[in-house]
Amino acid sequence: MHKHQISGAKQRVSRKPKHQPQRVDRRINAEQIQSLITGYKQGKSSAALGIEFGISKTSVIELLRKNAVRIQNSRISIENQ
């Protein structure tokens, strides 16, 4: 027995590769990112843009931040006040 092994303990060997999510900027191209930025600046919500481009709202915000776009607080309509 090696001095670094603990008696009776089994070392777990993972055979499956760890899941690593794809980077969002690899899922949509530069033209789509520019379209997403334009849509956001024109007033579309991050949730609506996520649906339009097939990515999550979080991914939309991540892309906007990476492209130095100021993130707006939630837009509240007059009906919701």
Read off the pLDDT of residues 4-43 as tens digits, 9 standing for 90 and up: 555 555 666 656 556 555 666 667 999 999 999 999 999 9
d(CA 10, CA 55): 41
pLDDT value at residue 22: 62
Q: What is the pTM of this model?
A: 0.62
Q: Using 50, 70 and 90 to split pLDDT, how confident is the model at 72?
A: confident
d(CA 52, CA 71): 18
User: Are 55 and 24 spatial neighbours (Cβ–Cβ below 8 Å)?
Assistant: yes
Collect all residues with Cβ–Cβ distance below 8 Å to 27 and sequence separation of at least 6: 54, 55
In the block, residue with structure tokens 């991914």? 59
